[in-house]
Chains A and B, each alone.
Chain A
Amino acid sequence: MKYDIRYKPAFATIFLTLQPGEQIFAEAGAMASMSGKVAMDTGFFGGLIPGLLKAFLGGESLFLNEFTNKTQSPQEIVLTQSSMGDIVQTQLNGGSLCLQPGAYIAHTKGIKVDLQWAGFASWFSGEGLFKLKLSGNGMIFFGAYGGLSEKNVTDSFVVDSGHLVAYEPGIKLNVGLSGSMMGSLTSGEGFVNKLEGSGKIYLQSRSMGGLVKFLKPKL
């Protein structure tokens, strides 16, 4: 499958070419435009029950769209995200990657999407009750609000809540305060993710929570 991520980093958008028989799965609403010959179907995200859980508790869409090229010639499709910011493609070769709510955009065949319980602590810190775990062999696309930074964590690392986009499953997430209770309240950092273990993580340079917090008193 050929792809090109254009208008990086502020307005990153995925331009995909589907070869005959090829398929891409994408988050509901991600399709901006496509050739009229691409077939589209709608299914549940990760099956009906996990899909329901995800919709009601995880705050994301219950549905996943499937785009297939059933013709004999290459067809184009353009996928994007709701927020402004960068998009990254990664190839999974038997490994897996966990995505925070809102980051997922699309994946190819061969990738399995699981919904996993992230815990109340995660929800409390604004990271959602569930996380998506993608594993298998194939490509995945995910996006951020702002720029995306990739980092290798080897022992432990602290990330402000709302800035973590994706992480490898070798990393365990704990929610904590950035300092003492009083210090956390006054420093403006509030809750943070305390990561332990080793693996790759992706950070976003802005947070939707930050934008919302900025806008709230201005309404």
Chain B
Amino acid sequence: MSEVLHLSVRPEWEQIDTARQETVLFLRRHHLHEEAIHAATMIVCELTENATKYGAFGGDEVAIRISVAVTPGAVTVEVKSPVAKGGDDHLRRLDRAVQWIRGFQSPFEAYLERLKEISAQSLESRESGLGLARVAYEGQSILDFFVNEHDVLAISAVHRFNS
């Protein structure tokens, strides 16, 4: 049996903290260990940041939809946001990033490789590109995504913990 938190937030940076607070309260009500709460909350924040940055808002879909599901031993986070019709650069980058992470023996190796790449960039660089690798490694989660017939991207991360 699972319990699910559903949130709908505007694609504004300040809303990410609202999502974080709601997630913390929901997970505490389910008596999860603080480590699992921190990991799941980090996942919610990172995926919602990406949705806020790269979502193609302005059509029918004007909100980011977040769900957090608790089942025995796992928290599943799903974040939905619109993409441009027929896909866009963000979707192609996302696909490459997820496939790239899956190409490593473990998320830790992918994270280390990403650290090495970032360390070569200038201090003033505005790129990040660490979020998904962090979700996989620090969030100890498995990433997946799909785009539905309404051009809505749903990206999910399953965080498993010892209950």
A binds B: no
Which residues of B are at the interface with A, using a C-beta cutoff of 8 A?
Answer: none
